[in-house]
Amino acid sequence: MKMLEITSLTKRFFGYKAVNNVSTEVRKGEILALIGPNGSGKTTLFNCITGFLQPDTGSIHFNGVEITDNAPYKISRLGIARTFQLVRIFPALNVLENMLIAIQDHQERSFFSRIIRSPRVRQNEKLAKEKALDLLSFVGLEDLQNEYAKNLSYGQRKLLTFVLAMMPEPDLVLLDEPAAAVNPTMIKHIKQYIRDLNNLGTTIFLIEHNMDVVMDLADRIIVLDYGSIIAEGKPEEIKENEKVIEAYFGH
């Protein structure tokens, strides 16, 4: 079943097609990997899906609703969350405060209700804290809930951004290089967390350069080169695809 459908999507920068007529889909319940050489358009595609860039042509539908020109906050409210290549946290806030900020836009939006701290606001805050602590426990960060985020190791910051994206309980999560620049032990943990999350029903769309991670996790793989899809299929098919081998080793 299609969850996300991308049709004839193109994004240009000064005439250069960073994403070139891309059509594909993300299926409900799968782990889909997006790979390709540096500069092939992977993050640009993610930015178009999540509203950080507006495509020049084409369309994007999520659960049957067109989201092509929506702002990022509207797309997030529909059930899509993401992480970024560079870790984005609030370094001067503690870990728990970071978690609670991540869900604010999905709670009570009435300014008056927040000012008077209505019973619904207080209940939402209680539930949000419980959810945050559960997620921190899920990735082993519960003992660091009161630590300033700036004091975390890089791997711990990666885990924090991962669970920040989970706070609104999204249906689809886009992970941009979750295993980049972390040690092998942390990569092993991240892989397990992604599997566990997927087993709980969350659909995953990830960009990753670590081929061991991709081949171990992905149900399907899409390969981009110069903004265009050159291959799409199961890991064992992609591994033997001559176009993919040429894209990675023939340039």
Across the range 2-26, mean pLDDT stands at 97
Residue 224 CA to chain centroid, in angstroms? 18
CB 177 within 8 A of CB 166: no
User: What are the residues whose beta carbons fall under 8 Å from the beta carbon of 26, sequence distance 6 or more?
Assistant: 2, 3, 4, 32, 172, 203, 205
Beta bridge partners of 33: 206, 221
Write down the residue that tokens 């084409």 correspond to: 58
Tens digits of per-residue pLDDT, 20-30? Answer: 999 999 999 99
CB 222 within 8 A of CB 32: yes
Give the model's pLDDT for residue 31. Answer: 98
Chain-wide mean pLDDT for the chain? 91
Across the range 27-53, mean pLDDT stands at 96
**35/13 Cα distance (integer angstroms):** 21
Give the model's pLDDT for residue 106. Answer: 45
Whole-prediction pTM: 0.88
- N- to C-terminal Cα separation, the chain: 36
User: What are the residues whose beta carbons fall under 8 Å from the beta carbon of 175, sequence distance 6 or more?
Assistant: 82, 83, 162, 165, 194, 204, 205, 206, 207, 208
Is the torsion defined by CA of 199, 33, 153, 169 positive or negative? negative
Q: Other CB atoms closer than 10 Å to residue 189's CB: what's the count?
A: 17
Tens digits of per-residue pLDDT, 94-124? Answer: 999 999 998 865 455 554 455 556 677 677 7
Tens digits of per-residue pLDDT, 124-152? Answer: 788 889 999 999 999 999 999 999 999 99
Domain residue limits, the chain: 1-79+170-251, 92-168
Tens digits of per-residue pLDDT, 169-214? Answer: 999 999 999 998 888 998 999 999 999 999 999 999 999 999 999 9
Provide the percentage of residues in the chain whose pLDDT is more than 90. 78
Q: Please tell me the CATH code under which domain 1-79+170-251 is placed.
A: 3.40.50.300
Give the model's pLDDT for residue 114. Answer: 52
